[in-house]
Chains A and B, each alone.
Chain A
């Protein structure tokens, strides 16, 4: 199962330990986590389901391409890192 890790800066708002979840896409994995930790959802995605403007996700070291629908594919052994997107000032 893919391993999902969350940025430490998130932890003071919502506890989000590393977790292994089933999922063929980034969306599958994140929304699976949201079912067990609903409070996490609004921190990572907006109300239309897209990644928040200043949040990013790396899959096996590469930033995801589809920030709107999160369709980037996962392998069974993928590492998924949910990070802050550093931008602006």
Chain B
């Protein structure tokens, strides 16, 4: 099967396939509608697309192998109990609503066929055992007392953007929260422990920078064949963990910047990871107008700056946290693919781990997420 790339954009979902060595659009769906994230489940061949309709709310659609799309249930909070603890965003003092504003993460739950995880803004984790037909809020995480410390980062409410699962460890799940750190469960979500020790938040007052429950990991990613090896592109830089999030170590060697949103980890080599740097943190444009990718092959000891095929001047592309993707674990190790999508509607592809990039399109809507299927 040739590589297939799902590109979720502000104006639809575009499915790219390799056509004679070049990616081209094989299918367009939901044209005009914001697609915040998509997921391909290799187990049953289903593809999921999360919509955020401007007037009519979040929707979830599922595509079967035969190509047909159908709307399934969108994750939704239960009716708020009258005696529910009121949780306020501590930065703004406003009550965090029991209403899904955006579907921000989708992941396979390997513990059961057809089971899925979904992370939302506000920061709820939802679970489905029936391919999205029904969803249940994970109350152990939602009811964590520490959730009262979470606050929005980039969006008004704190949200779950990263969900890490792995077929060899079906009971383990790790989520990343902006801003609330990383949290890990070893029992498929029944209990949670914080997994952010070592992350640093310079945006907090002195003495609170290392509070693990308020960290802003923009994205947490794992090596597909070594799921204990994690990388995070954090608001304050790059961090890595070699022990499934027990401890994190800040990596300060990246140039031209360690600020950014996205990261991807080589599926077979946990020492290799890619990032897309930008000027921190309010400006969020490429350093010196030169759009580059950075790559480490030695666990962060050093970084290469990769720009072959990327614009080297007067470029203002920004890459969101889900818009840098690497091939999945079952890809040919000799043909690991990368893709980048920008908020400016450009899509780039590299078939040689970032040494060279080809500009697939400059004419897409703003890109929210890319994923190799």
A44 to chain B, nearest CB (A): 7
* Contacting residues of chain A (9-42) with chain B, CB-CB under 8 angstroms: 9-10, 13, 39, 42
Nearest A-chain residue to B71, judged by Cβ: A39
Report whether B54 and A47 are in contact in the complex, using a CB–CB cutoff of 8 Å: no
A65 within 8 A of B: no
Query: Which residues of A are at the interface with B, using a C-beta cutoff of 8 A?
Result: 9-10, 13, 39, 42-44, 46-49, 52, 54-55, 84-85
Report whether B98 and A48 are in contact in the complex, using a CB–CB cutoff of 8 Å: yes
Report whether A52 and B98 are in contact in the complex, using a CB–CB cutoff of 8 Å: no
CA distance A52 to B80 in the complex (A): 16
Report whether B79 and A42 are in contact in the complex, using a CB–CB cutoff of 8 Å: no
Nearest A-chain residue to B99, judged by Cβ: A46
B280 within 8 A of A: no
CA distance A54 to B55 in the complex (A): 5
Report whether A52 and B74 are in contact in the complex, using a CB–CB cutoff of 8 Å: no
Partner of B55, one of A39, A42, A46, A85: A85
Residues of chain A within 8 A of B98, CB atoms compared: 47-48
Residues of chain B within 8 A of A10, CB atoms compared: 56
Report whether B77 and A9 are in contact in the complex, using a CB–CB cutoff of 8 Å: no
Interface size classification for chain B:
10 to 19
Residues of chain A within 8 A of B80, CB atoms compared: 48
B205 within 8 A of A: no
Report whether A47 and B78 are in contact in the complex, using a CB–CB cutoff of 8 Å: yes
Going nearest first, the 5 A-B pairs with the smallest beta carbon separation are A47-B76, A43-B56, A54-B55, A84-B55, A46-B99
B160 to chain A, nearest CB (A): 17
CA distance A46 to B55 in the complex (A): 11
Nearest A-chain residue to B77, judged by Cβ: A47
CA distance A44 to B53 in the complex (A): 11
B157 to chain A, nearest CB (A): 13
Query: Which residues of B are at the interface with A, using a C-beta cutoff of 8 A?
Result: 53-57, 59, 71, 74, 76-80, 97-100
- A42-B74, A47-B77, A48-B80 in contact; A55/B100 too (CB < 8 A)? no
Residues of chain B within 8 A of A48, CB atoms compared: 77, 79-80, 97-99
Partner of A46, one of B57, B71, B78: B57
Report whether B100 and A47 are in contact in the complex, using a CB–CB cutoff of 8 Å: yes
Report whether B55 and A52 are in contact in the complex, using a CB–CB cutoff of 8 Å: yes
CA distance A54 to B53 in the complex (A): 10
Partner of B56, one of A44, A47, A49: A44
Report whether A42 and B53 are in contact in the complex, using a CB–CB cutoff of 8 Å: no
Residues of chain B within 8 A of A43, CB atoms compared: 53, 56-57
Report whether B55 and A9 are in contact in the complex, using a CB–CB cutoff of 8 Å: yes
Chosen A-B contacts, 17 in total, with CB atoms closer than 8 Å, are A9-B55, A10-B56, A13-B56, A39-B71, A42-B57, A42-B59, A43-B53, A43-B56, A44-B56, A47-B78, A47-B99, A47-B100, A52-B55, A52-B56, A54-B55, A54-B56, A55-B56
Q: A47-B100, A48-B98 are in contact. List 5 more A-B contacts (CB 8 A).
A: A46-B76, A47-B99, A52-B55, A54-B56, A84-B55
A30 to chain B, nearest CB (A): 14
CA distance A44 to B98 in the complex (A): 16
Residues of chain B within 8 A of A13, CB atoms compared: 53, 56, 59
Residues of chain B within 8 A of A54, CB atoms compared: 54-56
Nearest A-chain residue to B98, judged by Cβ: A48
Nearest A-chain residue to B80, judged by Cβ: A48
CA distance A13 to B98 in the complex (A): 24
A55 to chain B, nearest CB (A): 6
Residues of chain B within 8 A of A84, CB atoms compared: 55
A41 to chain B, nearest CB (A): 10
Give the one of A43, A44, A46, A85 with max B CB within 10 A.
A46
